[in-house]
Structures are given as structure tokens and as C-alpha cells.
Amino acid sequence: MKKKTWIRIVSIVLASAACASPITAPVSASEVPVATATQENTIYTGKIGVDYAITWTYNPATETVTFSGTGSLMNADNETTNMDQFNTIIPSGSSIKHVIFEEGIEDIGWIGATFFDFGFYYDSSDYTVTFPEHVGKYYLGGVTNVKGLYGSQVYYDVARYKGVNFEPTGIAKEPLYETSGTCEEGATWKYDYATHIITISGPGYGSYGWKVPSHAIYGYKLDPNLTFPEEKEEEGWNKWVFQNWFTTAKSLVYCYKDSQFAKEYEICCDLLDKKIENAEDEQERVFYTRIRKKFNAIYLDDGSLCGDINMDGFINLTDAVLLGKAVNDSITVTDAQKVQMDCNGDGDISADDMLSLLRFLTHKIDTLPENAE
């Protein structure tokens, strides 16, 4: 019998005999708790950080540590400081799976094993860390589930990492960037926090005007009412479409088949394919091939989209994360979602579909499913 189970059985017997009431009062640093029958109901607390200015509270029932107060956890040497109470008050072997930093906590430092009970083998999906709107330096250190506010520093930080999930807890009171505005050419734009998509709407046109960092933009949606100049370049393609979409960092666009943009996009693709086919040398062929593969357009009126796992009408990193979880059987999906998951077209859902989806998102392939005839 495991020691933990034996202690629990003995504790229940002792508690019944003594008719003791559960201990619910916080335990201070000077009152280090002794293992008792009611320990699982105890709330542990102490001080941490620079000048011990921050209070931590550990709730064994929810496996959660909450940090509150005002100040920094990290010292001038970028180390989490004054952890003596945290390391001695919380009983050895306690489970910590959720860490919450409240507003006022700055410069957190390394989060991972500093606070969590990571074992040699652990499932990162079991652990979460919740951030406030304002936070200084921090390092996730193996944590893949992050909670925070849309528009906050953490929201934009997490957008850089493909393997980290972001769960919103609200919207920042002071967002780092505007989420809507007007382009110089007259079109309006709007950024969606959930999908990381910028929608550009007419009348007029535009391809700039927002300050949202490019790493936090997973694609662009062009409404069919978008209109732009018909000026052509010497090669025959539309000047605005080619210069503003094929030769920039804008890698993925959602549009509609009968729109002006879709028609000019198809012309650009055809002309680039001819350039590649008729290239005079290898250098020229590679040059046009890179341009051709750098940019993809997806037609929203094509019906269901292979790779759109969450079925929000877009294909992006959010879908890749969901597909990875489905392959690992960590989430339950519907039959309709399973159809969208077959990204390599072999009829089965496996890690190969994940690879196909990632190849599509990184522009190694142009269409999904990858092996569609």
C-alpha cells in the first residue's frame, strides 16, 4: 500500500474518533503545518520575491498557487528570489498544477519547475499559468497552457509559439494595439483576437495601416466589396496585388471566388507558373518558385475547408493545436471535425495529418488535403 494512501486511511480513523473539524485557516510562515488528518483542507501561505513583498497562497484542493501583491519576483540577477517560505511551508510531494499571477506582479522570471511539480514524465496539458494584464520579464519553461487577457503583452507573446495554447480570461483594459482602423486607400480593417485574422473591407482598398505585429497575424480576409486599381505591371499581373501580397510577409489570404482580388490572384499564379516553366536558368526558376509558394489564397465560398479543425472558417495555428490534441486523444471531436482533420487525404486521422497541415501553414504545399487527386 502506498504511503499516501495509508496516511489517508489512518487520518480518516483519527478524524472520526476525535470528531475534529477541518482546518481552513491560512497557515503563516511561522506556523509550518504538520501532516494531519485535515491537511488536505488547509490553505498554505507565505511571502516571496524582492523584499518578500509578494504573498503566495497554495490551495491543495485545487492544486493552485496564487501570487498577489505589488512587486517583482525576480532580482537583479534574473532569479526568482526569497523562495525559502515557498519551499519549506508547502508539504513535500504536494501537487501544483495551476499558477495564477494577479495584477501587480512584475518580472516573474522562470515559471516551469520553479513552481510546478513537474515529474520526469509529465503531461504539459495538465498545467496552466494565468497572467495579469501588465507583466515584465517571464519565461514559460515547459508550460503549454496560458491564460490571459486578449490584447495584453502575454497574448502577443504567446502568438509567437506554435505549441502554446492561449485561453482568454477577458480583454485588456489597455490593449497594446488598436484592433480596427482605416487604411490610407480608404478600406477599413479589423483584427480578431480569437482567430488572429485581419479583415479588410471596402469600399476602397488597403494593405497597411495596422500596428498589430506580423507574428500575431495568421491571415487576412478580404471582403468581396474591396476594390483596387487595375494597373498592370510589365509582366501582366496586377501591380497592387503582386506588390502588396506576393512579395511581402502576408502569407495567407481568405477571399471569395468572384471577387476582383480572386481573379487577379489567379492571373498572378498563372503568370508565375509560366515564369517558372520558361526560366532561362536555375537561379531565375528558384526566384519565381519562392514567390509562387510564399503566398496562398483560400476561397471562403468553397464549402468546408480541410484543415479548419475548429470550423471557424479559417485555417491557422489554432487548428494545428487542436489537431495535435485530437491525434493524442486528449480532446473529443465531432464527426464533422474528423472530416476536416484528414489533411493528407488517406482516410485516417494520424500524426501524418498534422505534418500535412503544418506543411500547408508553412507554405511547403499549396492545397489540402495534401494527396488529393
Phi, psi dihedrals of residue 285, rounded to the nearest 5°? -65, -45
Which amino acid does the sequence have at 164?
A: V
Structure confidence at residue 249 as a pLDDT band (50, 70, 90):
low
Torsion angle in degrees (nearest 10) through CA of 229, 232, 236, 238: -30
178: CB partners within 8 A, 6+ apart: 210, 211
My answer on whether omega of the bond before 369 falls inside 30° of 0, hence cis, is yes
Which one has a higher pLDDT value, 138 or 303?
Answer: 138
Do the beta carbons of residue 186 and residue 204 sit within 8 Å? yes
- Across 275-287, b (16+ Cβ under 10 Å) vs e yields bbeeeeeeeeeee
Among the residues of 19-164, which ranges form H helices?
Answer: 84-89, 112-115, 153-158
Task: Please state whether 63 falls in left (phi above 0), alpha (psi between -120 and 50) or beta.
Answer: left
pLDDT in tens, 327-371: 888 888 887 788 788 888 888 888 899 898 888 887 677 778 887
Quote the percentage of the chain above a pLDDT of 70: 85
Structure confidence at residue 303 as a pLDDT band (50, 70, 90):
low
pLDDT in tens, 92-104: 888 888 999 999 9
pLDDT in tens, 141-192: 778 899 999 999 999 999 888 778 899 999 999 999 999 999 989 999 999 9
Average pLDDT over residues 80-106: 86
Q: What is the pLDDT of residue 27?
A: 41
Do the beta carbons of residue 270 and residue 320 sit within 8 Å? no
Please state, as a whole number, how many other Cβ atoms lie within 10 Å of the Cβ of residue 177: 12
Do the beta carbons of residue 165 and residue 146 sit within 8 Å? yes
pTM, two decimals, is 0.74
- Would you kindly state where each structural domain of the chain is located, as residue ranges? 26-171, 180-301, 303-361
Write out the DSSP string of 136-149. --EE-SS--EEEEE
26-27 vs 128-130, strand pairing mode: unpaired
277: CB partners within 8 A, 6+ apart: none
Note the CATH number of domain 303-361.
Answer: 1.10.1330.10
Element (H, E) at 188: strand 188-192
pLDDT in tens, 14-65: 233 333 333 333 444 444 333 332 355 688 999 998 888 899 999 999 999 9
Element (H, E) at 100: strand 98-101
Q: What is the pLDDT of residue 118?
A: 59
C-alpha–C-alpha distance, residues 23 and 39, integer Å: 7
Is the per-residue pLDDT at 114 higher than 80? no
Average pLDDT over residues 259-284: 93
Q: What is the pLDDT of residue 35?
A: 32
